[in-house]
Amino acid sequence: MEVHAQAKRGFSVKEDEVASPADLSFEAPLKIVEYPDPILRTKNKRIDTFDDNLKKLVDEMFDVSNRRSHRWLNDRLLMELVPRLNAEEIRGLFAPPPWGEKLKGR
């Protein structure tokens, strides 16, 4: 698989667009946007002031990131701690013992 990258050379002559308060509005909880969502292709805007609203947005972004990584970590731990079961063992977990048969360990 070939990968090509195109880099911009030199400096941009035009000024970057500055983000307005409306650009930074959001509703919690944030959702993770995954590729190929077209919003990921939009051009970023420059931020001039780091106000309370932007701080709340950053905090929410960290919370979403931590929740996702903790969920992944918990799934991995569960897979490591719980032994793999074969079909007979799984069937035995959900089937009641036959009438009159003693249970193991009793």
* Each residue's pLDDT tens digit, 23-63: 888 888 888 888 899 999 998 888 888 889 889 999 998 88
Query: DSSP secondary structure string, 24-87?
Result: G---SSP----TT-GGGGSPP-B-----HHHHHHHHHHHHHHHHHHHHHHHHHHHHHHSPP--H
- Which amino acid does the sequence have at 86? N
- Give the C-alpha separation, 16 to 25, whole Å: 20
The pTM of the full predicted model, rounded to 2 decimals, is: 0.49
